[in-house]
Every structure is written in C-alpha cells, then in structure tokens.
Amino acid sequence: MAIVVVFRFPDEDISKYNSVFEAGEAILEQPKRLDHVCYEDGSGFTVVDVWEDEGSFAAFGPVIGPALAQAGLSGTPEIHRLVGTISQSGTRTSH
C-alpha cells in the first residue's frame, strides 16, 4: 500500500533542507520513493514524500535519520495512506 510521509519543520531555515543532500547520493537514490516535494510554509518548510509502501520508507530510515541530524533537523514523520494521484497527463490513479 502506497503511503505519503510528511515532515514538518516549523521555524527552520530552508538552508537546512539543502544541507540534507550533503549526506550523499543515498538520499537521492531511492527507487521506491515515487515523489518528493518540499515547500516553504511561512514559518519554516515541509517535505512530502510518496513511497511504494511503509517498508520502503522504513528501509530509508538509516539514511535519512543521520542526514537530518547532520543538518540540525529533527522531527517525527506523519504517515498517511495514499488514496489517489493525478499525473501531469491527467491520468487518475486510485491506490
């Protein structure tokens, strides 16, 4: 079952988001992460990832945990069941 993972970082500077990527290619090389979005929300920033399943996200833990700590970030992710998506071409998919 596909999931959506939300990390909220209130009152954090966006430069810390960019610092996470200094941890190496393993941050980027996640074939079971289907999508990634980061946005500033006025007081900080939020990261939203879509994963194939909860196990895939859990396997990313040993990568993202140290990378977040190295960047000076901490937070508990919110995990939600993905219900549906719409692609750029307009294709609607139910999950």
Mean pLDDT split into 10-residue runs, the chain, 95 residues: 97 97 96 97 96 98 97 96 96 93
**CATH number of the domain to which 30 belongs:** 3.30.70.100
Dihedral (CA of 8, 9, 13, 16) sign: negative
Domain that holds residue 62: 3-94
- pLDDT at 67 (0 to 100): 97
- pLDDT at 61 (0 to 100): 96
Domain count across the chain: 1
- pLDDT at 49 (0 to 100): 98
Phi then psi for 21, rounded to 5 degrees? -75, -10
- pLDDT at 4 (0 to 100): 98
